Chain A
Amino acid sequence: MIVVEQLSKTYWPGQAPALDNVSLSISDGAIYGILGRSGAGKSTLLRCLNLLERPSSGRILLDGEDLTALSDLELRRQRQRIGMIFQGFNLLHSRNVFDNIAVPLEIARVDKSRRHARVRELLELVGLSDKARAFPSQLSGGQKQRVGIARALAARPDYLLSDEATSALDPETTASILELLRDINRQLGLTIVLITHELDVVKSICDHAASLAHGRLVEAGPIAQLLNNPDSSLGRSLLPGYCAPLGKDAQTLELSFFDNLLATPVLKELVQQQGVELNLLASGVESVGGRRVGRLRVAFRQPGEELNLTRVVDFLKRRGVRVERS
Chain B
Amino acid sequence: MNRNIDWSEIVQLVLSATGETLYMVLLAGIFTLLIGLPLGVLLFISRRGGLYPMPRLNKGLGGLVNLGRSLPFVVMLIALIPLTRLIVGTTLGSTAAVVPITIGAFPFFARIVENALDEVDKGRIEAILAMGGDIRHVILKVLLPEALPALLAGITLTLVMLIGFSSMAGVIGGGGLGDLAIRYGYQRFNNQVMVATVVVLVILVQSVQSLGDRLVSSLAHRR
A residues near B, CB below 8 A?
50, 52, 72, 76-80, 82-84, 86, 88, 90-95, 103-104, 106-108, 135-137, 151-152, 155, 161
Whole-angstrom CA separation of A161 from B132 in the bound complex: 14
Whether the pair A76, B132 counts as a contact (CB closer than 8 A) is yes
A-B contact count (CB 8 A): 70
Whether the pair A104, B131 counts as a contact (CB closer than 8 A) is yes
B residues near A, CB below 8 A?
121, 123-124, 126-134, 137, 141-142, 145-146, 148, 222-223
Whole-angstrom CA separation of A103 from B141 in the bound complex: 8
Q: Closest 9 interchain pairs by CB? A: A94-B145, A79-B132, A90-B127, A80-B132, A90-B123, A84-B130, A104-B131, A76-B132, A93-B223
Q: Given contact pairs A90-B127, A103-B128, A107-B128, enumerate 6 new A-B contacts (beta carbons under 8 Å).
A: A76-B133, A79-B131, A82-B130, A93-B223, A107-B132, A152-B131
Whether the pair A104, B126 counts as a contact (CB closer than 8 A) is no
Show 23 residue pairs from A and B whose CB-CB distance is below 8 angstroms, ordered by the A residue: A50-B130, A52-B129, A76-B134, A79-B132, A84-B130, A84-B131, A86-B127, A90-B123, A91-B124, A92-B124, A92-B141, A92-B146, A93-B146, A94-B146, A103-B128, A103-B131, A103-B133, A103-B141, A104-B132, A107-B132, A137-B222, A151-B131, A155-B131
Whether the pair B131, A107 counts as a contact (CB closer than 8 A) is yes
Whether the pair A108, B132 counts as a contact (CB closer than 8 A) is yes
Nearest CB of B to A23, in Å:
23
Q: Which residues of B lie under 8 Å from residue A82 when comparing CB positions?
A: 130
Whether the pair B141, A79 counts as a contact (CB closer than 8 A) is no
Whole-angstrom CA separation of A152 from B126 in the bound complex: 13
Q: Which residues of B lie under 8 Å from residue A50 when comparing CB positions?
A: 130
Whole-angstrom CA separation of A224 from B15 in the bound complex: 85
Q: Which residues of B lie under 8 Å from residue A155 when comparing CB positions?
A: 131-132
Q: Which residues of B lie under 8 Å from residue A72 when comparing CB positions?
A: 134
Whether the pair B145, A79 counts as a contact (CB closer than 8 A) is no
Whether the pair B123, A88 counts as a contact (CB closer than 8 A) is yes
Q: Which residues of A lie under 8 Å from residue B124 when comparing CB positions?
A: 90-92
Whole-angstrom CA separation of A152 from B127 in the bound complex: 9
Q: Which residues of A lie under 8 Å from residue B134 when comparing CB positions?
A: 72, 76
Whether the pair B131, A83 counts as a contact (CB closer than 8 A) is yes
CB < 8 Å neighbour of B223 from A86, A107, A137: A137
Taking each of A90, A103, A161, which has the highest tally of chain B beta carbons within 10 Å of its own beta carbon? Answer: A90
Q: Which residues of B lie under 8 Å from residue A77 when comparing CB positions?
A: 132
Whole-angstrom CA separation of A84 from B121 in the bound complex: 17
